[in-house]
């Protein structure tokens, strides 16, 4: 098959991405497709399972490119899922470049890269992995294949790029977050909160698993000065749900802690705008450290102060625009929340700094523009 850059001008690219089942994330594809020299097809599965959550394909941002649904085998099996009809997508699109938005050690990546290379396309893979983990066969073989045969790689964070180099990848490498935020959607509330309000609206969004450390946030909030009128809104689900409810009840704060199910991606901006503080108290494990924390940039874009642990990439995402507390240290977390509760002016300043940081580093437009530049470089047009 002959791949093409249409008329010597438009670069035909295919992105394979399970992340793009989320409608809000498709804005990146719209912005890539709006580049005058890029003809983009995005292949997505009909659904992806994340623990007990089933994310079904949303079609929210679909202009200027082709969003193609392709079957998936073993959705939810991170290492062994695959796309049996991806070759047909490639045959229809005839791309010059295939961007596999997936870790290099997974079966889906190996099969997609092999299909792309067999059709003469240039290739990219993506990685968030920021732990130098060694995998048994066949995953180690998939990883080595990607390192040797791909024409480039995108790391979602600085630490992920360092791990990739440390494991032996020697090819072209760019550091770009997988996804940014749309600041026109994720924006602060129109009406600012009065500084005289002594209450503190705290929120968390994500999986309810031990590694996310939500119990630390509950314990820290439960020990705040009784004069602080705080509320903790927890959105998500997972095996720690019952334990967190029991913890709040045992601490006598069940009336202040609300556990809510997952929200649709389009409802998240309003959730953030109802908060003063978003917490991400992740704790590292031997097999996982926080890889980025997308909720941080979403909340900062909405003018919410973030408090994160020092796990993985969190301090690098927050920078000077929020507070960082030691993972698992309830006293340190309580001190951070107490400081914010007592200083509305500090909250206001940090909220403004967070919004500015997102606008400078983490918008969807910036991520798309940098990704487009990578596409051009990989096919020799950069």
Mean pLDDT value across the chain: 93
Q: What is the pLDDT of residues 248-262, one digit of tens each?
A: 999 999 999 999 999
User: Which pLDDT score is estimated for 6?
Assistant: 55
- What's the average model confidence in pLDDT over 91-105? 98
Q: How confident is the model at residue 8 (pLDDT cuts 50, 70, 90)?
A: low
- pTM (predicted TM-score): 0.83
Q: In this model, does residue 54 exceed pLDDT 90?
A: no
Compute the distance between CA of residue 292 and CA of residue 222 in angstroms, rounded to an integer. 27
Q: What is the pLDDT of residues 265-298, one digit of tens each?
A: 889 999 999 999 999 999 999 888 998 899 999 9
Q: How confident is the model at residue 24 (pLDDT cuts 50, 70, 90)?
A: confident
User: Which pLDDT score is estimated for 2?
Assistant: 40
The token duo for 159 is: 């630490």
Q: What is the pLDDT of residues 299-316, one digit of tens each?
A: 999 999 999 999 999 999
Domains and CATH numbers, the chain: 5-180+363-378 (3.40.50.2000), 200-361 (3.40.50.2000)
């Amino acid at each position: 098959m002959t791949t093409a850059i249409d008329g010597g001008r438009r670069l035909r690219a295919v992105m394979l991405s399970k992340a793009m089942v989320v409608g809000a994330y498709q804005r990146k594809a719209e912005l890539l497709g709006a580049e005058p020299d890029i003809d983009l097809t995005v292949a997505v599965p009909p659904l992806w399972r994340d623990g007990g959550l089933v994310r079904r394909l949303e079609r929210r941002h679909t202009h200027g490119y082709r969003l193609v649904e392709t079957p998936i085998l073993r959705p939810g099996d991170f290492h062994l899922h695959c796309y049996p009809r991806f070759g047909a997508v490639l045959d229809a699109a005839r791309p010059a470049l295939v961007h596999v938005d997936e870790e290099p050690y997974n079966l889906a990546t190996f099969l997609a890269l092999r299909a792309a290379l067999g059709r003469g396309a240039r290739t990219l893979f993506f990685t968030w992995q920021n732990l130098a983990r060694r995998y048994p066969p066949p995953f180690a073989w998939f990883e080595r294949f990607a390192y040797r045969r791909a024409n480039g790689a995108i790391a979602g964070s600085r630490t992920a790029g360092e791990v990739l180099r440390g494991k032996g990848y020697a090819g072209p490498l760019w550091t770009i977050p997988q996804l940014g935020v749309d600041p026109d959607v994720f924006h602060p509330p129109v009406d600012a909160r009065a500084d005289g309000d002594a209450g503190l609206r705290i929120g968390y969004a994500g999986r309810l698993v031990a590694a996310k450390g939500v119990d630390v946030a509950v314990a820290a909030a439960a020990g705040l000065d009784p004069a602080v009128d705080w509320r903790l809104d927890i959105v998500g689900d997972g095996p720690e749900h019952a334990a967190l409810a029991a913890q709040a009840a045992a601490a006598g704060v069940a009336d202040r802690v609300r556990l809510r199910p997952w929200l649709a991606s389009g409802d998240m901006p309003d959730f953030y705008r109802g908060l003063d503080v978003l917490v991400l108290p992740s704790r590292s494990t031997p097999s996982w450290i926080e890889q980025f924390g997308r909720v941080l940039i979403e909340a900062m874009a909405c003018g919410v102060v973030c408090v994160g642990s020092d796990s993985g990439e969190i301090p690098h995402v927050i920078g000077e625009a929020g507070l960082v507390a030691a993972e698992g240290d309830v006293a340190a977390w309580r001190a951070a929340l107490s400081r914010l509760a007592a200083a509305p002016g500090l909250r206001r300043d940090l909220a403004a700094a967070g919004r500015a940081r997102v606008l400078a580093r983490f918008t969807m437009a910036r991520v798309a523009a940098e990704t487009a530049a990578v596409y051009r470089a990989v096919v020799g047009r950069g």
